[in-house]
Amino acid sequence: MRSPALSDFSAVHDDGTIGVRGVDLTVSAGELVLLLGQVGSGKSSLLAAPAGLVSTTGEVRWNDRVVEDAQAELRPALVSHVAQCRACCRAPSAATSGSTTRAARSCRPPETARMGRDVAEAGGPDSLVGHRGVRLSGGQVQRLALARAVACDADLLLADDVSSALDATTELELWSALRAGGRTVIGATSKAAALAQADRVVVLDGGRVVDAGPWSVLSRKWAHLSG
């Protein structure tokens, strides 16, 4: 299991706007780190950048090795990114996820993403869900996207607000399952119950990290950002 480290890290979008700047963040293997901030604070940019989806400046280290070209080196086998909205057409399995490794087969992605019951009720992993998942609810689309990402068995999972359409109980089960699986996860959420489960919460404001630590401490100052 490997761990990423960002130093004086900035994310620059194609139109030249800077999503986040000057970020210093080291995530230990198996750690759950959740980002918190208002809309436009830079959460999505910070999650997309380590996956090589936007241009970056600064230094990225992967297992203590400097990454020279994040967009070329941080491929899905290393980093799996789930955006806020993702079209899914099938439930993940060894055949549909593109992975046939023992690790991918044994991690049971639908169960980890709290999707097992939904898949069973739909008739199994080969069930059709309509064009762009039209037959799925918002929460099901989010969980199915997450299940597909988990199936990649990547070293680092970047989850951008994948629980916004979930009820509180399901969200807690989801983060607990990810933690129990030992994955290194950086995610984004505004739900206090989820933040309480994180090893660390990182607060963003105006594209900069303004605070970090356990939610039990940060909640005294930043509770107004959570729900």
Residue 55 inside a domain? The answer is yes
Alpha-carbon torsion, ordered 59, 19, 206, 26, to 10 deg: -30
Question: What's the pTM value of the predicted model, to 2 decimals?
Answer: 0.76
**In the chain, count of helices (H) and strands (E)?**
9, 10
Residue 75 inside a domain? The answer is yes
Residue 51 inside a domain? The answer is yes
Please tell me the distance from the alpha carbon of residue 93 to that of residue 109, in angstroms, as a whole number.
8
pLDDT category, 37, cuts 50, 70, 90? very high
pLDDT, tens digit, 9 for 90 and up, residues 71-120: 777 776 788 888 764 444 333 333 333 333 333 333 455 555 555 666 56
Residue 142 inside a domain? The answer is yes
104: its two tokens: 């991918």
Residue 227 inside a domain? The answer is no
| Domain encompassing residue 30 | 4-222
Residue 6 pLDDT? 94
| Nearest alpha-carbon partner for 60 in 72, 42, 43, 44 | 72
What is the CATH classification number for the domain harbouring 204?
A: 3.40.50.300
Residue 193 inside a domain? The answer is yes
State the total domains in the chain: 1
Residue 35 inside a domain? The answer is yes
Please tell me the distance from the alpha carbon of residue 168 to that of residue 18, in angstroms, as a whole number.
33
